[in-house]
Structure 1
Amino acid sequence: MRLANTRAPTLRWVTRLIVAAGGGGDAVAAAVVDAALYGGSGSPAVILTYAWDRLLVDPVPGPRGPGDLTGLTPLTRSVWAVPPTARPIAPAGSTLPRLASELPHTFALIDPQHGAEGIAHQITSLVHHLNPESIDLLDVGGDILAKGDEPTLRSPLADALTLSACSQLKAHVRLLVAGPGLDGEIPAEDLTARMGPPVLTFTSNHIAPISSVLEWHPSEATGMLAAAARGVRGLCEVRDAGLAVPLTDQSATLHEAPLHQALHRNKLARALLTTRTLAQAEQYSREICGYSEIDYERIKASRLATQPARKLDPTRTLHRLAEFETAARRRGITHTTFRRITEALGFGGEHRQPLRELLINRRPLQYEAPLWRISRDA
């Protein structure tokens, strides 16, 4: 790892810390929550997040650590900020440098290589450095409130690690859930009893500061949160598995949930409390949940590496899109994400943005930012 400098930046005016529970889209949503809850008082919050963009952006399975990026700046001895000039070391990829260039927040890196104990140490050191007035742990979708044995659960590890780490802090941490059910893992109706009433309902005005980010960022859950805040309703198909996620009035809400009740409920998070390596955390996930999401990424990455490169031919692509839309209508689907279209048509992550541009240019009326509306043609 090469450092941009060895002097920690001065953050005298920062008074808020938001921990993005699952990384990726949670970090983008954290910027929305910061503006919506705090109204821009003081400087923008520090957002502590994983560099874990899944295979659509990063072809390397699992989360990235400080050794996977150049140009980081130290905040504390164990926490690094990701400035706009930082770069992932090939073949790794990361959306964090671009986020840092487009949003006014400071993005700091969660390094899970030393398990929940290591993350707890990182957050503690950052709290001592910043002395923030508030600490929020944010999850989009609500799978952080899972028990761990739900058959629909797909990616519990990142959330469980941050929940486990935050529960060990001596400072007060508020657990927030945005867009219940939007990650397609725990249905919104199952989360109702696990969280309080809405703290607020997001509107298009809340989403405006991240509009440019949503034009390129691959997060499906935060994309659906933005669409719901803009008034989009229907049934949205996501991921390579084609999960169907309802977009309702509740999809645009933000809730507070009792953190220690969430820890008591979450079997995986409790098991991770004393973990000191990511490998340990993965093994607990295999034992409790029946799988490790990083194992899934490893298998998928291996499969993708053997697939021949596919050319983005506009005519053939639009024909295949029409077939996909016909089948989606039969399933009752009204919207989908560009990640879902990319993978359903057999393209790799490098084709997602060119494919998105092709579709929007050819059929602009079907673009309900940042989602794609399924054609109603019979």
Structure 2
Amino acid sequence: MKRLIVAAGGGGDAVAAAMLHAALYAADDEPALILTYSWDRLIVDPVPGPRAPADFTGLRQLTPHVWAVPGTATPKPPHAATLPRLAAELPHAFALVDPYAGATGITRQLDELTAHFTPHTIDLLDVGGDILAHGDEPTLRSPLADALTLAACIRADAAADIRLLVAGPGLDGELSADTLRPRLGPLTATLTPEHVRAITPILNWHPSEATALLAATALGARGLCEVRDAGLPVPLTAEGPTVHRVDLATAFSGNRLARAIAATTTLDEAEEHCRTVCGTSEIDYERTKAQRLSRQQPAVAAPRDLLAQINGFEQAARTRGATHATVRRLTEALGLTGEALQHLARLNATRASPLPATVWKLQDE
């Protein structure tokens, strides 16, 4: 494997890694090895937190502490995961980030992979830019996964060779592009419709919001998109499809959480540092939300009623200045189940929009 790409956050960064490979390394005509979490959030996986190797059957051992996820792997109930399907539909190889031994464990995984494969390049990729958070930003929602991979990379044997890349500044709805701009380094690439083509079928079903918006802006989408259950407004601009390089050591020195968890040996320990530095943990948020959802009766709507509900949502969103919404946002705003997300994505695909099916363009009145 010539290329090792570490997806900094959840499964969406793994999808974006395929786009990045198309932009930077297409001439190689050789698949990459993508090291990624299996962490799909509650819209897919009812169990809070990331998945460990023990949560799957059918994994293939690459090194003593790294497991490949083939397309034939399956999550053990009650867990759910998009990663096996991703592996089945993309030409790249996928390996599982296991954060349960803390940042120290992820560093060990990186060291084993680089020693085994001796890749020509190693990229650490984050979509949105929350990997550059300082830890005290009030809009920060999910810093732990990115901070763990950043801390692991800075301590890896190959740290000097790891290139940190931030794609789609601000598209994850956490830190704004204005906040991130002074923290970004030089422009490395601007994604185009040709690069999106590599993952278009994936974005018709994968629930990642930031990566879907990265693709949408590369396809020309402009406006204001509501994301997540809270309806956070994310501007879609010409800056959306850009990819910037950032000095790894500078990013680490600015990230208080990454510094705090660099020597952790368990996920629980890292999570406790996250509560101290950032005031909360994203897994705590998932635990609270999972308990709330378990007490709620999911909404069930007849097709005609569903269309009326969508129309009502669109009218209200337009009054808030929105031009788009992610299908995840629409699903949660209507109180629907995760299965409804796929139904809405299929419905959106029939609307002849050039955008990914998981990005809903609001209809004009």
Bucket of the pairwise TM-score, normalised by the shorter protein: over 0.9
Residue 126 of structure 2 aligns with which residue? 139
Residue 204 of structure 1 aligns with which residue? 193
Q: Does 1:96 align with 2:83?
A: yes
Q: Does 1:176 align with 2:136?
A: no
Q: CA deviation at 1:325?
A: 0.9
Q: CA deviation at 1:231?
A: 0.6
Counting matched residue pairs gives 362
Using the alignment, how far apart are the partners of 2:298 and 2:177 within structure 1?
38
Residue 336 of structure 2 aligns with which residue? 347
Residue 76 of structure 1 aligns with which residue? 63
Give 2:260's aligned amino acid. A
Is the Cα–Cα contact under 8 Å of residues 204 and 349 in structure 2 kept in the other structure?
no
1:253 counterpart (242, 254, 263):
242
Q: CA deviation at 1:89?
A: 0.4
Using the alignment, how far apart are the partners of 1:154 and 1:279 within structure 2?
18
Q: Write out aligned runs for 1:120-159 (5 A).
A: 120-159=107-146
Q: CA deviation at 1:376?
A: 1.3
Give 1:202's aligned amino acid. L
1:228 counterpart (206, 217, 240):
217
Residue 57 of structure 1 aligns with which residue? 44
Give 2:122's aligned amino acid. I
Q: Does 1:45 align with 2:24?
A: no
Using the alignment, how far apart are the partners of 2:352 and 2:119 within structure 1?
44
Using the alignment, how far apart are the partners of 1:365 and 1:110 within structure 2?
37
Residue 7 of structure 1 aligns with which residue? none
Q: CA deviation at 1:367?
A: 6.7
Q: CA deviation at 1:318?
A: 1.1
Residue 3 of structure 1 aligns with which residue? none
Residue 374 of structure 1 aligns with which residue? 362
**Structure 2 segments unaligned to the other structure (5+ residues):** none
Is the Cα–Cα contact under 8 Å of residues 128 and 210 in structure 2 kept in the other structure?
yes
Using the alignment, how far apart are the partners of 1:310 and 1:231 within structure 2?
34
Q: CA deviation at 1:319?
A: 1.0
Using the alignment, how far apart are the partners of 1:312 and 1:97 within structure 2?
31
Deviations 1:33-64 (A, max 9, x none): 11211124152110000000101111100000
Is the Cα–Cα contact under 8 Å of residues 312 and 355 in structure 1 kept in the other structure?
no
Residue 207 of structure 2 aligns with which residue? 218
Q: Report the 3-state secondary structure (helix = DSSP H, G, I; strand = E; otherwise coil) of the residue aligned with 2:229.
A: coil
Q: Report the 3-state secondary structure (helix = DSSP H, G, I; strand = E; otherwise coil) of the residue aligned with 2:234.
A: strand
Q: Report the 3-state secondary structure (helix = DSSP H, G, I; strand = E; otherwise coil) of the residue aligned with 1:33.
A: helix
Cα distance change of structure 1 residues 191 and 309 upon mapping to structure 2, 3 Å threshold: closer
Q: Report the 3-state secondary structure (helix = DSSP H, G, I; strand = E; otherwise coil) of the residue aligned with 1:225.
A: helix
Q: CA deviation at 1:183?
A: 0.4
Give 1:185's aligned amino acid. E
Using the alignment, how far apart are the partners of 2:83 and 2:234 within structure 1?
26
Aligned Cα RMSD in Å?
1.1
Q: CA deviation at 1:120?
A: 0.3
Q: Does 1:16 align with 2:3?
A: yes
Is the Cα–Cα contact under 8 Å of residues 314 and 358 in structure 1 kept in the other structure?
no
Residue 32 of structure 1 aligns with which residue? 19
Using the alignment, how far apart are the partners of 1:139 and 1:46 within structure 2?
16
Using the alignment, how far apart are the partners of 2:343 and 2:128 within structure 1?
28
Cα distance change of structure 1 residues 40 and 312 upon mapping to structure 2, 3 Å threshold: farther
Using the alignment, how far apart are the partners of 1:58 and 1:354 within structure 2?
17
TM-score (norm 1): 0.94
Percent identity, aligned pairs only?
58
Q: CA deviation at 1:360?
A: 4.3
Is the Cα–Cα contact under 8 Å of residues 18 and 136 in structure 1 kept in the other structure?
yes
Residue 294 of structure 1 aligns with which residue? 283
Give 2:253's aligned amino acid. H
Is the Cα–Cα contact under 8 Å of residues 299 and 334 in structure 2 kept in the other structure?
no
Q: CA deviation at 1:355?
A: 2.6
Residue 11 of structure 1 aligns with which residue? none
Q: Report the 3-state secondary structure (helix = DSSP H, G, I; strand = E; otherwise coil) of the residue aligned with 2:135.
A: coil
Using the alignment, how far apart are the partners of 2:7 and 2:349 within structure 1?
30
Using the alignment, how far apart are the partners of 1:157 and 1:342 within structure 2?
25
Q: Report the 3-state secondary structure (helix = DSSP H, G, I; strand = E; otherwise coil) of the residue aligned with 1:59.
A: coil
Is the Cα–Cα contact under 8 Å of residues 204 and 345 in structure 2 kept in the other structure?
no
Is the Cα–Cα contact under 8 Å of residues 366 and 374 in structure 1 kept in the other structure?
no
2:258 counterpart (254, 269, 277):
269
Using the alignment, how far apart are the partners of 2:334 and 2:299 within structure 1?
10
Deviations 1:81-105 (A, max 9, x none): 0001000001101111101111000
1:316 counterpart (305, 327, 330):
305
Deviations 1:277-297 (A, max 9, x none): 000010000000000000100
Using the alignment, how far apart are the partners of 1:307 and 1:356 within structure 2?
23
Q: Between 136-145 and 41-50, report the one with greater CA deviation.
A: 41-50
Q: CA deviation at 1:136?
A: 0.5
Runs (4 or more) in structure 1 with deviation over 4 Å come to none
Using the alignment, how far apart are the partners of 2:91 and 2:81 within structure 1?
18
Q: Between 310-319 and 345-354, report the one with greater CA deviation.
A: 310-319
Give 1:120's aligned amino acid. T
Using the alignment, how far apart are the partners of 1:240 and 1:263 within structure 2?
30
Using the alignment, how far apart are the partners of 2:347 and 2:115 within structure 1?
48
